[in-house]
């Protein structure tokens, strides 16, 4: 699918002027709050009318102010999952799920109720009322409701933002399954590096209503300067790996990546399964010689590709490990102490324990470098 957006819109003092074209399976709209993400989503969904511009989904023009085209929201076939779920309180879960289906012509329905209910694991909730659901359950039902309207594009507006960490961890796998198993393009709004690195194939970074950057997830996540200040610690390299084997003795999993083998806490995935890893830049130690007497298990040899000044006296060092870039954030003192410069052979050292559920994900093979 292709999504073309080129719009200009003003809301009070805030102006949104956004232009991008996306082809990814899951495109993340990423940026701090107030950057215009939700306004943009509302415009794509037809909840707001842009002052000027064009929105085209797979050749279907939804908005073109020049040609005076404005497809009303109920005919857009663009699903929207709201941050606050917005389930209908007067209907059961099943009633909510079937709502959009009712308005979709038979010939255009592609989502089957059983498949969606199974995918989201909400079979046991069907007879319940929305008021009796937990936040995570509500959000899953909201996703199911949007899917069953058989949309051509699914928009998700910070669907996890109002949930606590445990609930987020509960829903993320369902969104991954949705991305991998349903043939529907998704635009996912988030301000969380963890979510974007885990889910996105493509990232559009918004800042004060403008597109600050746009590209594959792996490339954007390395640009720490693009990340919101409070999320910078979460930035780093996103790399693809494959489960090579499980180490039963120490309860670990060995992943094969372009940068070499990486040991992580045990993953529940069969050998050969693709895994996406986010290696936080602050978790990577640089050694000029292969270290001895060190507890860290992952020692990746490489060559310094570039060094840039980072935020607050820190330095961002990009290490090229066999063609895979690993980003490390160290102090300027360390940099000078070790005398690091581009071209130097070094070792990137990463603790196994620094990997957890928030920065490892299965699925979405091969799209990271696309």
Partner 1 sequence: MSWLTVLTPDEWNAVRLSVKVATVAMLASLPAGIATALLLARGRFWGRELLNGLVHLPLVLPPVVTGYLLLLAFGRQGPAGSFLAEHFGIVFSFRWTGAALACAIMGFPLMVRAIRLSIEAVDRKLEQAAGTLGANSVWVFVTVTLPLILPGIIAGMILSFAKAMGEFGATITFVSNIPGETQTLPSAIYTFTQVPGGDAGALRLTLISITISMTALLLSEAMARRVGQRLGAA
Residues at the interface with partner 1 (CB under 8 A): 45-47, 72-80, 82, 84, 86, 88-90, 99-100, 102-104, 129-132, 145-146, 149
79 contacts 120 by C-beta, under 8 angstroms: no
Taking the C-alpha atoms of residue 294 and residue 226, their distance in angstroms, rounded to an integer, is: 33
CB of 199 to partner 1, least distance (A): 21
CB of 105 to partner 1, least distance (A): 9
**For partner 1, which is the closer residue by CB, 145 or 232?**
145
**For partner 1, which is the closer residue by CB, 107 or 249?**
107
68 contacts 50 by C-beta, under 8 angstroms: no
**For partner 1, which is the closer residue by CB, 3 or 361?**
3
The tokens describing 237, both together, are 């390299």
CA 320 to chain CA centroid, nearest Å? 24
CB of 73 to partner 1, least distance (A): 4
CB of 113 to partner 1, least distance (A): 15
**For partner 1, which is the closer residue by CB, 58 or 345?**
58
Q: Which of 133, 238, 146, 136 is nearest to 187 (CA)?
A: 146
**For partner 1, which is the closer residue by CB, 149 or 321?**
149
**For partner 1, which is the closer residue by CB, 149 or 368?**
149
Taking the C-alpha atoms of residue 281 and residue 39, their distance in angstroms, rounded to an integer, is: 32
Burial 293-316 (b: 16+ CB within 10 A, else e): eeebbbbbebebeebeebeeebbb
Taking the C-alpha atoms of residue 203 and residue 30, their distance in angstroms, rounded to an integer, is: 7
CB of 74 to partner 1, least distance (A): 5
CB of 344 to partner 1, least distance (A): 54
Taking the C-alpha atoms of residue 199 and residue 40, their distance in angstroms, rounded to an integer, is: 20
H helices of 37-92, in order, are: 37-45
**For partner 1, which is the closer residue by CB, 77 or 198?**
77
CA 117 to chain CA centroid, nearest Å? 23
Eight-class DSSP state of 317: E
**For partner 1, which is the closer residue by CB, 147 or 364?**
147
Query: Can you tell me which residue has the tokens 């819109």?
Result: 9
CB of 55 to partner 1, least distance (A): 14
318 contacts 325 by C-beta, under 8 angstroms: yes
CB of 159 to partner 1, least distance (A): 13
């Amino acid at each position: 699918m292709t999504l073309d957006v080129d719009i200009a819109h003003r809301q009070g003092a805030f102006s949104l002027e956004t232009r991008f074209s996306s082809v990814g399976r899951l495109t993340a709209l990423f940026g701090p709050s107030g950057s215009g993400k939700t306004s943009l989503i509302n415009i794509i969904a037809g909840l707001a009318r842009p002052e000027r511009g064009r929105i085209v989904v797979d050749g279907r023009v939804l908005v073109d102010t020049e040609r005076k085209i404005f497809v009303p929201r109920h005919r857009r076939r663009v699903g929207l999952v709201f941050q606050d779920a917005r389930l209908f309180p007067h209907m059961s879960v099943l009633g909510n799920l079937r709502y959009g289906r009712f308005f979709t012509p038979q010939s255009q329905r592609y989502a089957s109720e059983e498949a969606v209910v199974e995918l989201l694991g909400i079979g046991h909730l069907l007879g319940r009322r929305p008021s009796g659901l937990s936040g995570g359950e509500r959000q899953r039902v909201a996703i199911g409701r949007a899917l069953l309207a058989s949309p051509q594009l699914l928009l998700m507006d910070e669907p996890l933002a109002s949930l606590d960490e445990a609930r987020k961890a509960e829903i993320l796998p369902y969104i991954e399954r949705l991305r991998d198993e349903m043939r529907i393009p998704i635009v996912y709004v988030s301000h969380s590096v963890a979510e974007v690195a885990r889910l996105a194939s493509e990232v559009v970074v918004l800042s004060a209503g403008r597109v600050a950057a746009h590209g594959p997830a792996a490339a954007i996540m390395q640009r720490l300067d693009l990340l919101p200040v409070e999320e910078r610690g979460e930035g780093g390299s996103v790399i693809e790996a494959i489960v090579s084997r499980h180490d039963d003795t120490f309860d670990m999993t060995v992943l094969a990546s372009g940068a070499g083998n990486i040991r992580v806490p045990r993953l529940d995935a069969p050998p050969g399964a693709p895994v996406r890893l986010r290696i936080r830049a602050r978790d990577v130690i640089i050694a000029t010689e292969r270290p001895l007497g060190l507890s860290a298990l992952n020692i990746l040899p490489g060559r310094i590709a570039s060094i840039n000044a980072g935020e607050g006296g820190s330095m961002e060092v990009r290490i090229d490990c066999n063609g895979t870039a690993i980003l490390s954030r160290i102090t300027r003192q360390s940099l000078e102490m070790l005398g690091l410069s581009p071209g130097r052979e070094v070792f990137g050292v990463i603790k196994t324990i620094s990997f957890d559920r928030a920065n490892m994900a299965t699925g979405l093979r091969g799209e990271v470098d696309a």
